[in-house]
Amino acid sequence: MSILIIGAGPAGTRAAEVLVSAGLRPIVIDEAPENGGRIYQRQPAGFRRDPRTLYGFEAAKARAIHDVFDQLRPSIDFRPRTLAWNLRQGVIDTICDGKASAVPFAQTILCTGAMDRAVPLPGWTLPGVFTLGGSQIALKAQGCAIGAKVAFLGTGPLLYLVAYQYARAGAQVTAVLDTTPFAVKAAQAFGLMRGGATFAKGLYYIAWLRARGIRIAEGVTPLAIEGSDRVELVSWRDARGTNHEAAVDAVAIGFGLKPEAQLADLAGVPFDFDPVQHNWVPRKDPSGRTSVGGVFLAGDGGGIRGADLAEAAGARAAWAVLAARGLAADARAVARLDATLAAGASFRAALERAFPFPAKLAADMADETILCRCEVITAGELRAAANEALATLSPSEVNRAKALTRVGMGRCQGRVCGAAAAEVLAAALSCPAEQVGRLRGQPPVKPIPILPAEAA
């Protein structure tokens, strides 16, 4: 029976490497046309930029992952451009170039990565607003900037990295607006130092931006993104309460990352609430094994830990798969991976505390702000339903709110608005965000086309 790896990023690549070294031939599925994942995304055929330009400090790691994968190609069954849209007992349903398949597995390692978290703001649906990760991919994969004068708004380490990459690429970075106050980050300085090079790089990006006179504001409250047909202006309130605005033609927003864990959800893996990042994280043991037989997790899809630890987690999960198949493990390799993962965890915890999810910003969103952009539902509509629910149908939770208001019911199935919707609902019900739960996964995890019988 097959081993199925979903996702050919850092975690999936290292998982495949271990399995191949044990003489197995895993199936590796990825939505993208090529391997590398979002972080080490390969450029389209015909593009000739060197890795240093594309990946900066991470060029060596990107090249290593690409090289390993290229060497693995003859020994794995690689299926790019393939969406894994459903997971049920022992089967993953996929679609590739309009052709559907049901792929059976004995074990699967879900390396499904992360996606940006957005906090809806007035004007966030205007053309010219992108997520941070999306603006980074535009640059990395296509060599495009999202605008000529760009503001970066949100929080998290990616904010400074992408601003740096844009400035290096020649875009005008108008402002970097961080919702986390400096003091919150400074309080984590000791823990962050354990990150060594990673921490140093973060400081370098900030220093580089400052040295070029790029405006960096910390502890801001975003006010609005404005424009008639597209983005023209971004406004914010600084930590001292003064309002500012800047003329821009694009805004990248991002408030940290969330695991892309829909397949784990469909598998029936239980989830836990992370009180710092306000993420729902699928439960797994340190090796990546879940309570659902045959389902393993690695990389950011099993909880945000970054690309370096994703490599270790991918390899570690592969060893766990081998153990599940009754094959011998390399005890020293496993011990090394466990040590790497444990050491990384404390830095990661400090990083998450340094850039906490701005739950209050989401909870306080103005009534007229569009919360669910697919279905065009405002925060006020959700609050009105919550007040009604409080009176009639308590206790309330996000799936009921979805049924009554359509929040999270559109094309993205709540992947974009779900986290903010939970904050708005919880605040309206005066309960912790954890209590309103999370939107249940329903297949397909991403849209699939209606197909004629012969393709199915």
Partner 1 sequence: MSATSTDVLIVGGGGAGCSTALHLAKRGARCILLERGQIGGQASGVNYGGVRQQGRHPAELPLARRARDIWAKLPKLIGTDCEFEVTGHLKLARNQAEEADLIAYLDVAKANGLPLIMIGGNVIHQQYPWLGPDVVAGSFAPDDGAANPRLLSPALARAARDAGADIRQFTPVSHLAHDGTQFVVTSGEHEFRARYLVNTAGYWGGAVARAFGEQVPVSPLSPNMLVTEPLPYFIAPNLGVVGGDVYLRQIRRGNVIFGGGRGQSDPDVPSSRPSPEASAAVMAKALQLVPQLAGAQVIRSWTGIDGEMPDQIPVIGLSRTTPDLFHAFGFSGHGFQLGPAVGAIMSELVLDRHTDVPLEPFRIDRFAADQSFNQQGQRHDASHHA
Total residues at interface with partner 1 (CB under 8 A): 29
C-alpha pair distances (Å), 191 with each of 66, 200, 278, 389: 31, 13, 20, 43
Question: Which range, of 275-283, 321-329, 396-404, 424-432, touches partner 1 by CB under 8 A?
Answer: 396-404
Question: Contact between 392 and partner 1 (CB under 8 A)?
Answer: yes
| The binder of partner 1 chosen from 86, 107, 112, 179 (CB under 8 A) | 86
Q: Does 384 bind partner 1 (CB under 8 A)?
A: no
Token look-up 């090249």 returns 63
Contact between 328 and partner 1 (CB under 8 A)? no
Structure tokens at 171: 């875009």
Contact status, residue 326 vs residue 359, Cβ threshold 8 Å: no
**What gap in Å lies between CA 411 and CA 123, rounded to an integer?**
20
CB of 159 to partner 1, least distance (A): 30
Using H for helix, E for strand and C for coil, what is the string for 383-437? HHHHHHHHHHCCCCCHHHHHHHHCCCCCCCCCCCCHHHHHHHHHHHCCCCHHHHC
Residues 38 to 57: which contact partner 1 by CB under 8 A?
none
Contacts of 191 (CB under 8 A, 6+ apart): 346, 347, 349, 350, 351, 353, 354
Select the residue interacting with partner 1 from 140, 348, 400, 438 (CB under 8 A): 400
Examine residue 451 and tell whether it contacts partner 1 (CB under 8 A): yes
Q: Which of residues 408-447 bind partner 1 (CB under 8 A)?
A: 409-411, 413, 442-444, 447
**318: nearest Cα among 21, 85, 82:** 21
Task: Using alpha carbons only, give the angle 233, 215, 169 rounded to the nearest 5 degrees.
Answer: 85
Alpha-carbon span 233 to 218, nearest angstrom: 19
Name which of 58, 40, 103, 37 is nearest 294 in CA terms: 103
Closest approach of partner 1 to the CB of residue 100, in Å: 6
- Residue ranges of alpha helices (H) inside 170-306 are 182-186, 189-193, 197-211, 262-267
Kindly indicate which of the ranges 60-68, 223-231, 296-304, 398-406 contains the residues binding partner 1, using the contact rule CB under 8 A. 398-406
Q: How far is the CB of 181 from partner 1 (least distance, A)?
A: 39
Binding mask 256-275 for partner 1 (x = CB under 8 A): ----------x---------
C-beta of 51 vs 410, nearer to partner 1: 410
450 binds partner 1 (CB under 8 A): yes
Q: Applying CB under 8 A, does 448 fall inside the site for partner 1?
A: yes
388 binding partner 1? (CB under 8 A): yes
- The answer to the question of residue 100 lying near partner 1 (CB under 8 A) is yes
Residues near partner 1 (CB under 8 A) are: 86, 88, 93, 100, 102, 266, 388, 392-395, 400, 403-404, 409-411, 413, 442-444, 447-453, 456
